[in-house]
Structure formats: C-alpha cells, structure tokens
Structure 1
Amino acid sequence: MPQLVKLSFCTSPVKDEPLEWEKPILSQTEIEQKIKEYNSQINSNLFMSLNKDGSYTGFIKVQLKLVRPVSVPATKKPPSLQDAKRPPGKNQAVKRRTSFYLPKDTVKHLHVLSRTRAREVIEALLRKFLVVDNPRKFALFERAERHDQVYLRKLSDDEQPLRLRLLAGPSEKALSFVLKENETGDVNWDAFSMPELHNFLRILQREEEEHVRQILQKYSRCRQKMQEALEARPLG
C-alpha cells in the first residue's frame, strides 16, 4: 500500500513514521449505506448518487497548487470540449502558445463517477482551464491532517478519487485533493517544448527585473533617510 509522505509544520512535533489509512473494498449494501451517511453530513447540494448499475456519482474538490506557469493556446477562440477529447493530429497541433501562472490556490469542483481514475481527473482539470501541457507533467495528491501533521500521498493513475472521498467522508481535514507538478526532485526541463522554455525565460527575466527594481527602491529610501538625518544634525 502506498504511504503518505509527511509535510511537517514548524509548530508541530515531527514524527518519523509514515501514516496509512485503510481503504476497504465495500459491498453494494455497504456502498449504499456509506452514501446515505455521507449525504447526511454535508451542508451543500454536492450529494453523491447511487446509479442503477451499482456505480455512483458525486463531486470532488481539487485545489491547484502549481509553482510553474502553464501553457494555453494563444488564440482568441478557446478549444471546445469535443476538440479537447479528440486525439491530437496534424490539423490540431498547437502552433502558438502563451504561458501564465494560475491564481494561487485555485479550487475547482468536478462531477465524477466512482470509476473515474486520477489520470482522468487531471485531464479534465486541464481541459477546464484550457491547459495544453502534457498531463504527465502533473500529479493528483490526497492530503490529510492527522495529529497536527499534514500528509500528502501521490495517487496512482488508476486510483478512483470519488471512492477515496466516500471512504474518508466529507471532512476536508480527513481528505482533500491537490493538483501539483509531477516531480520528486529537480525539474526535468527536457519535458518542455522550445516555446514553453522561451516563455519561462521571459517570465524569469520579468521577475528578475521587478526584484531588482524593488531592491533599488529599498536602498534608495534608506540612502535618502540617512541623508536627511545627516542634514538635520548641527555642524561642529
């Protein structure tokens, strides 16, 4: 069973042991009972519904915590849902792209099936935000707060987020979902296209120029205050 990777807070005691929680396989009767319990605990209309074929549908909320900019088509007309679902071909190649940072901690609700996999959730999120980056650049994580500790676990492609939501209940502390860059160490720049890398360089240059401007302003203010203090002192 995959383990949860701990992210410790400075104000919380650090524990070395990983945290796991059981994910049992439920019978159809148990699923029906779980859905009733889940719906009775939520304070919104984001209910789960049992289908005739034994599957169920419901909502999951995903928080986007992306550090790097994403790429979108540099066109006035956004792609339709049919275009997004269609496999890429020569006529559909994205010739021009532009990069931007998604707003920090953007949140999106998705209506999914119990059999919807984590990889499909990532692809759906990218379609909704018109992101044309390779879905393999991103990963879906489950986040849990236990005993004043925060834990993250990367979901495998075939895991079913709605099933995890049902098993954990509606509490966001018990379970929430986060979309992050799919990396465990250094950035694999070879995975990015030439237009993306050029956009990153332009963004980096703008950030550097802004940082230099702020530093110059800071020292200019300090120099001015020192000069004013010197001028205010009597001579001799």
Structure 2
Amino acid sequence: MSSGYSSLDEELEEFFFTAKSTFFKGGSAAKNVKRDAAVEETPKALTPQEIQQKIERYNSKVKNCLLMKQNDDGTYTGFIKVHLKLRRPVTVPAGIRPQSIYDALKEVNPADRTDRRTSFYLPLDAVKQLHISSTTTVAEVIQGLLKKFMVLDNPQKFALFKQLKKDGQVLLQKLPISDHPLHLRLLAGPDTNFLTFVLKENETGEVEWDAFSIPELQNFLMILDREEKEKIHQVQKKYDSFRQRLRETLKEMDSKLT
C-alpha cells in the first residue's frame, strides 16, 4: 500500500482464503480501489497558547474520562485507540498468550510451534488503548503495541494508518514513522468516527523475506502446506458429494426405465 489514500471497500472472493491471500499482497480482490497521489500537508506547529485552547476545546467534547493534559514544558499527554487489522499471523513466545486478548486469540496450529516461538492470528476487531505523549512517534506507537501484545516480529513489518472520511468515502493513509499520533488526535478532535488509527501489515509491493527469521519462514511453509491439504480435502469432498448425487440420479432413472 502506498503512502497515499486507498479505499477500504475490499472483500475476499471466497470465505476460505489461503496463505497466499493471507501473506502476500494481491491475494484478495480489491473493488473500487482509489488512490490519491496528493501529499497531505504536514500540520503546522502550534504555540503553547494554541495548544491550550485546542486541549480545552478537545476536553469539552470528550464523553468519557480520557482527557488530554498539558504539561509545564509545553508537551501534552492523552489517549489514542488503535484498531488491529492484521491478516498475517504474529509470532509470540511459545506457551505464552498476550493477556490483554487471551480469549480472543486463535492459535494457528500446534504443528506451527517452534522451540521458542508460536504463531497466532490476532482478531481483526482487536482494539488497544494507549496513553501517550505529544512527543511519541508512530514508530514508538508500533513498538509499544507489539510489546503489549508480546509480539516478537520485526516492527518494520507493520505500519500505522490513519482512517478518515473524505468525500463520503472511508480512506486510509499510511503515517510516516516520525509523525506524532496524539497531535493528529488533538487536531481531529475526540470523535473516532472522523479519525481512527489502524495497525496493518506494512505492504511495500514485494515481500521482504530478509525481515523474517528462519522459524517464521518455517511457520509459513507449514501453514501453506496445511492450507493446501485443507483445500484439496474441500475439493475432494465437494466432488465426492457430486458423484454420489449423480449416481443416485442415474440409478433412479434406470429404475424408471425398467
């Protein structure tokens, strides 16, 4: 995915998706995908007085206790929510499940375990709330999320996006790692329907195999092999059922003719 905008109107062609569509870009069908090559201007720096005014306006709209607070040095702290929309399995220490989403995790397969690591699929609707500073960068947010979920994967495999509405469409824009999410939250206001942060795979157009460890690559191979066998089984089951119905129909026709 580029750093420009792209439509979220994407659907899988089938309910069952293989590891090809899970691990590699282009595995799912994208419909009405639009890209905006225009680069959004960097938000201008605010004076301490402007920051105070915006924080007061922000807090007046907050419907919960998640307020922003300005510090004496001019920085400020607050909360952001990040939606995890990861389609690839993540790697965590073997035998350990992240406590924050213990019940939501779906383990890939006992066969995918290594001596030290285990692969899991994180639920697509997982949401994590972070308390950060105005100096916290996108890179630090990604690292913090991985640490909270005890994910061992290279942070460079992930990217933080801002999801917003533009011209009646829901759009995603990849954020530079040096951006400050809390500043964007302050400028947009507390309404998450207008601006939402999303963690996704860092799609670069090609798979960067050097970023994966040997155990991760072995996991991918085992997952591919298992999914291939499952797909073959589904096809065989489908045509076995069709063959049985065909035989029953032919037998019924023969009985009528005799």
| TM-score normalised to structure 2 length | 0.75
- CA distance, structure 2, for counterparts of residue 13 and residue 210 of structure 1: 31
Mapped pair 1:4 → 2:4: yes
Decide which moves more: 224-233 or 118-127: 224-233
Q: 2:59 aligns with which of 18, 39, 45?
A: 39
The 5-angstrom pairing of residues 35-184 of structure 1 reads 35-75=55-95, 96-184=116-204
Specify the alignment match of 1:235 in structure 2: 257
- CA distance, structure 2, for counterparts of residue 143 and residue 3 of structure 1: 12
Query: Runs (4+) of structure 1 moved beyond 4 Å?
Result: 10-17, 75-78
Distance 1:229 1:128, change over 3 A: same
Q: 1:30 aligns with which of 31, 34, 50?
A: 50
- CA distance, structure 2, for counterparts of residue 74 and residue 231 of structure 1: 55
The answer for unaligned runs of 5 or more in structure 2 is 11-30, 99-113
- CA distance, structure 2, for counterparts of residue 147 and residue 62 of structure 1: 23
Distance 1:76 1:131, change over 3 A: closer
**TM superposition shift of 1:159:** 0.9
**TM superposition shift of 1:150:** 2.9
- CA distance, structure 2, for counterparts of residue 160 and residue 170 of structure 1: 16
Give the match's secondary structure for 1:151. strand
How many residue pairs get aligned? The number is 220
- CA distance, structure 1, for counterparts of residue 94 and residue 41 of structure 2: 44
Q: In 2, are the aligned partners of 1:66 and 1:181 still within 8 Å (CA)?
A: yes
Q: In 2, are the aligned partners of 1:12 and 1:148 still within 8 Å (CA)?
A: no
- CA distance, structure 2, for counterparts of residue 126 and residue 13 of structure 1: 29
Decide which moves more: 53-62 or 43-52: 43-52
Give the match's secondary structure for 1:141. strand
Q: In 2, are the aligned partners of 1:146 and 1:174 still within 8 Å (CA)?
A: no
CA RMSD, Structure 1 to Structure 2 (Å): 2.8
Q: Which amino acid letter does the alignment assign opposite residue 219 of structure 1?
A: Y
Q: 1:222 aligns with which of 224, 242, 245?
A: 242
Q: Which amino acid letter does the alignment assign opposite residue 178 of structure 1?
A: V
| TM-score normalised to structure 1 length | 0.81
The answer for unaligned runs of 5 or more in structure 1 is 79-93
